[in-house]
Chains A and B, each alone.
Chain A
Amino acid sequence: MNETAAQPILSVNNIEVIYNHVILVLKGVSLSVPEGGIVALLGANGAGKTTTLKAISNLLGAERGEVTKGSIVFKDDQVEALSPNDLVKRGCIQVMEGRHCFGHLTVEENLMTGAYTRKDGHGAIRDDLDLVYSYFPRLKERRSSQAGYTSGGEQQMCAIGRALMSRPNMILLDEPSMGLAPQLVEEIFEIVKLLNEKEGVSFLLAEQNTNVALRYATYGYILEAGRIVLDGDAAALRDNEDVKEFYLGVGGEGRKSFRDVKHYKRRKRWLS
């Protein structure tokens, strides 16, 4: 189904998600993330990126959403019926869109909540705290400030650092670039790359910022109205004329939908 050779750590097979029992949002989404890979999930507002990530981490339940079809396999186990708590213990954690730091807790307390599910003792957790501070020196400077009063960039770092504290194998990262200055976006993605290389964390990252995402990811999927309309190696996607036109803002002819231009392609994919 996809061209990456490595064993997938995560595979999502043809899932359908319904909110409130009636609103069908994902209409059969399949994707996979190879062990140690960075995969981008791209798409415009409302395409269903967040819904896909929440279906995987099972945060959907809290929003009256439900996976009604398909399966999700993480490290060879079916996980769609597991609670977020179980998933975090197994090494899959989500960093939510909009950071969601605990505003009244200090930065360090925020990081420590990430270790909530761990049972390997105080020493190991302290070591990881130091590790997080080594990746995000700015968090160390602000360790005793209330997270609610830190800057957007610091909060994004805090949210990623908090997730790291759970010792994950896989992070579902939802729009890390949201509301950040380009320079800071670059800084965050550099750290993502570093974490991927040094700590071996696999990433599935949802982004609207197609340009940055495709530079750091190895593979990408493009989601439109609850369906994957295109996928491929990041380099290939970057050179794809339609991606250039619709998502990278080069080329012209006004805004169209993949649905019009690439109908045959989508068809083909759905039949495969």
Chain B
Amino acid sequence: MLFFIETVLSGLMAGVMYSLVALGFVLIFKASGIFNFAQGVFCLFAALTFVGIMEKTGVPWPVSFVLTVGVMIALAWAIERFLLSHLVNQEPIILFMATIGLAYFLEGLGDLMWGSDVKPLDIGLPSGASDWMLDTFDIYVEKLEVVAAVVAAALVTGLAVFFQKTRIGRALRAVADDHQAALSVGISLRTIWVIVWSVAGIVALVAGIMWGAKSGVQFSLSLIALKALPVLILGGFTSIPGAIVGGLIIGVGEKVAEIYLGPFVGGAIENWFAYMLALAFLLVRPQGLFGERIIERV
């Protein structure tokens, strides 16, 4: 039983990461209808920049964090200026292709600027097992994973408040609902896009740092984006709570399946379980767990 709880907990922690990456997708998809293939590379690029700045200049990590946030905002601005503004009104598939190009471009840029070796990311996050959990419940939990979960939860709460309570947040939701009407009341889509892509960049940075702290900053980081796809199918492309819950379900499902089903099918379930789950889900509930209800009345 304890072992099962450990498995679930470690799944939840991994799931938090998936949730963060999926969240970046959902934000951009809601506000601009673009499926941003580059979201995974965003994580890699942000983490690389974060580590790179620390390495090259020796500044403490909070400074590097702030600088990297600046870089992600500049990147969002550049994407809007040089990519989106030229492709506005194009078919979604063209925009999707553009983000594929963007992904390769960013990958190359990250390599060029910071090199392609695996970089350790050490910002003094606690590591090892949580003694308290071990002593009180006899359960093994990585401290780092607890930190990641707490940070992710704080980030999500912050975003939720931002979306619900602020003028810009309201404008973002308005654009997501009906961009024509948003234009008509004087909301500038270009400003909103820069903001959304910046927020997605910052979310990617946080995810990248957490993931990097666990396994180093390396190319494989950009592949967690592949896990975001089943999360999105599960949670619905337009739902922020869906991205979060979907991420957790996939995280836990993977770990549990690996341990309890793995032995029967020869292991390595973790690699494809998420897709199976998503596929099964597609058949039952194609709009996702929390897929936005389409309000059907005029």
Contact = CB atoms under 8 A, between A and B. Distances in A.
A96 B183 CA distance: 11
Contact of B187 (A98, A101, A113, A149): A113
Contacts of B184: 57, 59, 84, 93-96, 100
A208 B170 CA distance: 34
B295 A116 contact: no
Interface in B151-210: 167, 170-171, 173-174, 176-188
Contacts of B188: 83, 85
A261 B251 CA distance: 73
A84 B186 contact: yes
**Residues of B in contact with A, size category:** 20 to 34
A200 B164 CA distance: 33
13 contacts: A62-B89, A84-B183, A85-B183, A85-B186, A89-B186, A94-B184, A100-B180, A100-B184, A102-B173, A102-B178, A103-B178, A105-B173, A146-B295
B2 interface: no
B78 to A, nearest CB: 21
Given A62-B180, A100-B178, A113 B89 contact: no
Given A113-B170, A148-B295, A149-B295, A96 B186 contact: no
Contacts of B180: 59, 62, 96, 100
Interface string A85-118: 1011100011110111111110001001110110
B55 interface: no
B56 interface: no
Contact of B170 (A64, A85, A105): A105
Given A148-B295, A148-B297, A102 B177 contact: yes
Interface of A: 57, 59, 62, 64, 83-85, 87-89, 93-96, 98-105, 109, 112-114, 116-117, 146, 148-149, 152, 162-163, 166, 179
B183 A117 contact: no
Contacts of A99: 298
Contact of A163 (B89, B171, B185, B187): B185
B56 to A, nearest CB: 40
A87 B184 CA distance: 10
Interface string B208-244: 0000000000000000000000000000000000000
Nearest to A112: B170
Contacts of B298: 98-99, 152, 179
B297 A102 contact: no
B89 A116 contact: no
A100 B183 CA distance: 11
Contacts of A89: 186
Given A96-B180, A105-B177, A179-B298, 19 more contacts: A62-B179, A64-B89, A85-B187, A95-B184, A100-B178, A100-B184, A103-B177, A104-B177, A109-B173, A112-B170, A113-B171, A113-B185, A116-B167, A116-B170, A116-B171, A117-B185, A117-B186, A148-B297, A149-B297
Interface in B117-171: 167, 170-171
Interface in B261-298: 292, 295, 297-298
A88 to B, nearest CB: 3
A15 to B, nearest CB: 19
B187 A102 contact: no
Given A102-B178, A103-B177, A179-B298, A166 B170 contact: no
Contacts of A64: 89
B173, B179, B183, B188: which has the most chain A beta carbons within 10 Å? B183
A7 B39 CA distance: 54
Interface in B68-95: 89
Nearest to B89: A64
Contacts of A179: 298
Contacts of A101: 178, 181
A190 B64 CA distance: 60
A164 B176 CA distance: 22
A103 B173 CA distance: 10
Nearest to B171: A116
Contacts of A100: 178, 180-181, 184
Given A103-B295, A105-B170, A93 B186 contact: yes
Nearest to B168: A116
B89, B179, B181, B188: which has the most chain A beta carbons within 10 Å? B181
A61 to B, nearest CB: 9
Contacts of A85: 183, 186-188
